[in-house]
Amino acid sequence: MGKANHTWQTEFILLGLSSDHQTQILLFVVFLIIYLLTVLGNLLIILLIHVDSRLHTPMYFFLKNLSFTDLCFSTTIVPNMLVHFLVIRKTISFAGCSVQMFCFLIMGCTESSLLAVMSYDRYVAVCKPLHYSTIMTQRVCVLLASGSWASGVFVSLVDTTFTLHLPYQGQNAINHYFCEPPALLKLASAETYRAEMVIFAMGVIILLGPISLILFSYCNIISTVFQMQTGEGRLKVFSTCGSHFIVVLFFYGSTIFTYMQPNSKKKNQGDKVISVFYSVITSMMNPFIYSLRNKDVKEALRKVLRK
């Protein structure tokens, strides 16, 4: 028995969101619908922006990147979750867990950076409209998008390396529905303080950094809006920025709750439910929020449907 407890783990068991069979069937249906809506919605956004020349602007360039990120984000987690709702033995190999964690972190961190970049784009559009075309050039947009992806890869490499470098011997049941660093650290058979501090530091960089830029952008946007003379102009700005702000609240609120708590050992059972918001729900909401509140996207959709 003692020997088994010191064997290096080659696979993990994911306990999921529920152990009740009927609840799992219900959750399978719910998350299948969410995943299908996520895939169809984000693919539609990408298609519309690609085929409609009127949407070839910086704002929609970043939105296309965001939709692609959401598509990959959800695909990294949900298909495996759906399979586990239907099988008795919910296992994932150590290698599979590593890949899932690495991809999940890339997409999540990239999304965090992209939301900040999108807020900066709106700040330039609202506060410096006469200089918008000279500031947000194609080269600048590509650099900002590339920087977002690069930051996602960097943070993912650091978090994954420090999490997987720890020994995992003995317990192998992860109280989660996917391989997320805070959940995995609870199973480590060594001191996790260093890894927790590194993950916390990366959270400060990839979460609080973008949030600071978002707050700066929106403070300036709000100040500019109140100086506008016409109500129509104010309404247009609030309509454009409102969609982005709703996404920001959902994504950052739930992510900060999970990653900005240093001591992962003391986290409660409800944390995996909170993570559903930023890992699954937000990816589904984004295309609907941006399309239902955006006249350009709706017009592009009508144009495609007419063809």
Sorted by where each begins, the domain ranges of the chain are 10-306
At residue 1, the pLDDT reads 38
Query: What is the value of pTM for the model shown?
Result: 0.88
Q: Give the CATH number of domain 10-306.
A: 1.20.1070.10
- At residue 116, the pLDDT reads 93
Looking at the chain, list the stretches that DSSP marks H as alpha helix, in order from N- to C-terminal side.
Answer: 2-5, 21-51, 58-86, 94-127, 132-135, 138-164, 181-185, 193-203, 209-226, 231-259, 271-276, 282-292, 295-306
- pLDDT score recorded for residue 3: 43
Q: 116: number of CA atoms within 13 Å, CB side? A: 24
Residues in the chain where the model's pLDDT stays below 70: 1-8, 229-244, 261-270, 292-294, 307
Write the CA distances from 215 to 219, 240, 248, 282, 293, integer angstroms.
6, 16, 11, 20, 22
Residue-wise pLDDT tens digits, 181-208:
988 988 888 888 899 999 989 988 998 8
pLDDT for the residue 262: 57
The pLDDT, as a whole number, for residue 271 is 73
- What is the model's pLDDT at position 43? 94
Over residues 133-174, the pLDDT tens digits come to 999 999 999 999 999 999 999 999 999 999 998 888 878 899
